[in-house]
Structure 1
Amino acid sequence: MSISIQHVTYPNLGWDSAADIYLPADFDPNRRYPAIVSTHPIGSCKEQTSGNVYAAGLARAGFVAIAFDASFQGASGGQPRFIEDPAMRVSDIRFAIDYLQTLPYVDPQRIGAIGVCGGGAYTIHAAMTDYRIKALVSITGVNFGRLIREGFSNFDPVAALQAMAAQRGAEAQGGARQVINYLPPSVVEAQQSGISDIDVLEATDYYKSPRGQSANGATSGLFSFNSAAFGWDAFLQAEVLLTQPLMVVVGDKPGGFGAYRDGCEIYGRAASRDKHLVVAEGWSHYDLYDRTEPVALAMERLVPFFKQHL
């Protein structure tokens, strides 16, 4: 027997969210299962690493797992498209929990959360203010607020915000939306333009090739709406509010997106008494998306962690 996937929609703020529910191979609708919300990276979708790797792996381990598309992205509703607003991404996690708690086969007191890349940091932030999350795992989590203030704005956040303000003003007056792609079209083109950062090159290899490419994984962002992330910090108040059991998984090959640094930071700052930092030695940020060996290493640690706390 193999795991099964159900495609569902459920209400969000004036639109519907689209999600895939991964069910264990021996699924019995008359039982009550622990359930885990899986949140995708920035510019990604539910069919990629949050769903086909981590949600699927958790289902094989006996959990119900739900991987959803962010609002304004993928198959979920919301206009305009391609908004990447941290507050909305955190809100999406709460709505996924709402939905899980309506399902008769989910134990509403045994809900956990996992996220990959930006989704890992969004999961951390959600857990600080939603104690329905009983345990959480961040897989190579990236604090998008820090990243957009630094590398994504060429370390000139004020100039970036000025450009976004001008663009949003133009759009408000009828101008065309400016949708940017976070990545180069291919690894070859990235290298030809002088890019050498491991995260950018490996992200391009994942998202722009058959390895991870998906129709809904657009790696796109609405430029003028990205301004919302500049004043946001995924880890704000973690020393006080992040009390649930926490596991942070990072690779030890650091890249420009900063997951290794962010992982070490939140591990140190979290108020959680039960917290674990798992370093996948010899592996990178994007290896933890889908490469067999580092994913197996992560699963070997996170499955017992969730079984203990859920």
Structure 2
Amino acid sequence: MGSQIFSAILVIIVGVGGCVAYFWGANKLLDLAFPSRGVAGRAAIDNLRRQGIVRPWLFVGPALLILTVYLIYPVVDTLRLSFMDRAGQNFVGLANYQWAVGDREFRTSILNNFLWLAVVPAACTFLGLIIAVLTDKIWWGNIAKSLVFMPLAISFVGASVIWKFIYEYRAEGQTQIGILNAFIQYLGGTPQVWISIPFWNNFFLMVILIWIQTGFAMVILSSALRGIPEETIEAAVIDGANPFQIFWRIMVPQIWGTIAVVWTTITILVLKVFDIVLTMTNGQWNSQVLANLMFDWMFRGGGDFGRGAAIAVVIMLAVVPIMIWNIRQATRESGEGH
């Protein structure tokens, strides 16, 4: 444990120190290449203009390089592999996509992903909005917000391990250590292996992601609610509107754009959900999702690069349109804010 903590601290120091050294050194070299001090007249103006052209690239350049190496190239290579055979060497055309359409597990994964999409974004957004409204009206609201936001700081694997203890099952006659089964046993019910119940186990897994992402939705929506002009609320109160009407007819319409951005952001996350399923069920008991299925085909059972890449392309095609819409919506909101 001590060596791991030391390694983490060392990486942080080296990483942050390296960034500081790079930007300081790059700016220093730029000032030396195009000096603006000690140079008079037109030459100083020209050097300042050149510095203005080059300096942004000193900051953007490393990010563009990393994006090219770790994002653009993998996307292009994944597209290529999706048309190749198991070993990724021979061209097979659309065979991998034809296999996906006819594969039962792939269809199950698609249906499970749709089920996640129907439940998780709606639940996170709704709960986040309700909590944001309620906590703004109580004196200990910031404490409540901190508690709701806290799960967001936990990794998906860590959160899954926590909930694995909640769903834990012990054989009949043994003490139930799982909170859920212990509570059910206390009420006189029968403990169950909850995550192995087909169909319903998907909802038990969804609870984990809802628990994590509700804090994100709450923070964003709380900020949007505080941007609503007080005059509109006061006018509604004077006109005799009750709190329910104020919420649905005054507040929600004014932050609808933010609600849509939060909804779509969580939707993108749900389309890529992997860690929770891998940790809790590994796709067993009809809980498979696309990302976990891709992982299985790509890295397990000998590895099938063609089929794994085809599934990755399907996920990408589902995510990209939502992501583009989300960016445009966020840009529009930002523009209107100015």
Task: Verify same fold: TM over 0.5.
Answer: no
Structure scoring higher RCO (CA < 8 A, sep ≥ 6) equals 2
Greater helix share, structure number: 2
Greater strand share, structure number: 1
Query: Which TM-score band (shorter chain)?
Result: under 0.3
